[in-house]
Structure 1
C-alpha cells in the first residue's frame, strides 16, 4: 500500500491449496480494499500489479465488478523494464557473466575466498525477481577485480580463469550496465524513463522492443501525471 508519500505492507497471504487464478486474486484484492476502508478509513483509488496473464485477466474482471471498476489499474513499469533488459542484453556476453557468477556463488571454497576479499554476493538473473539481470551485471563489475585476483593465485578451474583473462568481458559488462535502467517510483518518472530509453542512441537497435514494452506498460493517465509534474511539464 502506498499513500503517495510512503509505502506500507498491508498483508501477506498464504494461499495454501487454493488455485492462484484471476478469481482468487480478485477475492484477495476485494478483501484488501475493504480492509483499507474499515481499518484505516481510507479509499483505494489505484492498483498496480505485475504483468502475468492472470493479473491481466484480473484487471479485466475489475472493470466488471461494481466495487472495483472505479479503481485505476495498471502494470508495473519495473517488471516491463526487466523484460526489456532480457530482450536487449546480448546472450553471447551475458552467458559468460552468469557462468562466473554461478561459479563463485555455488562453489564453497571460491565463495569463501571472495568473501574474505570483501566481495559482494554474486547475483543471478531470474524471471520473478525484477531487475535481477541488472543486479547480476552490477555485482559482476564490482567483484571483477577480486575474481581476477583469486584467479591469479592459481586457485580456480582453468575454464573460469580463461574467461576472466579476457579483458573485453569487463568492458562489455560496463557497456551493458550503462544500457540497463532501474525501476522508478512514480508514474510521471516512469514516463520520463521510458522516453529516455527511446531517445538513447546506444539502444537504437532496440527501438521497436522499447516502444512495444512502453505501450504495454503505460496508460493515458501516466502522461497526464507527467504533464502535471513540475519536473517535466509534459
Structure 2
C-alpha cells in the first residue's frame, strides 16, 4: 500500500530529532493508541550512532556488589536508573518496591511539578488496563522482557540515549510504558545500509511491541530495539 510520508520533530536530549513516518498506522496495542513509527533522519541517525559508540558499560549495584549489566544480570529482575544516574538492581518486584520508596516519591514529585506547570489539577495515575499499571511507578519509563509486561524490567527516570547492549537488553524488549504527563520515549533499531527504524511511545501510554508493525519485512517491534531514547 502506498503511503504519504510526513516529517515531524520530536524533542530529544540534545535538540530536535527528525523522523520520517508513514501515514499508515501500526497495529493498535490493547493498552494504548497506535504509536508513531518511521525512520530516523540522516542527521538524527548520525547523532544517535555517535552517542551509542561513546556509551560506557552500565555498572549496577545488586546484592551489595557491582555488576556489569552487559555481561548478564546475575539473577536480577528489575534494574532502575535513579535521579542521580546510579543504577540499582533487585531480585523481585517486591524487593524493588521496598527499596525504591524514596526514589519513587522523588520521581513522582518532579513529575507532578511538571504536571502542575501544564495545568494538571490532580496527580496522574499509572496507565490502566495492564499489569504494568502497578509495576511502572509514576514518572518512570519502563520496558519489559515479555509482551505481557512481565519478566525482567528496565526503568529510567532521566532523559538520554540508552544503549541496550550496555544494559544487557538488546533485542529483548517486548513491551513498555511511559508513566508520565509529558516527554515520551522511543525505540530505535540500528540497521545496516538502510535508515534506522524508530517507534515513538507517548506519555501516559503502554505498548505491547508484538502488536506494533515493524518498518521492514513485516513482523512486529518485538525484540527489535537496540536503543531507547528517553525524552
TM bucket, shorter chain: under 0.3
Q: Tell me which structure has the larger Cα radius of gyration.
A: 1
In terms of fraction of residues, the more helix-rich structure is 1
TM-score, length basis structure 2: 0.25
Which one scores higher on RCO, CA 8 angstroms, separation ≥ 6?
Answer: 2
In terms of fraction of residues, the more strand-rich structure is 2
TM-score, length basis structure 1: 0.25
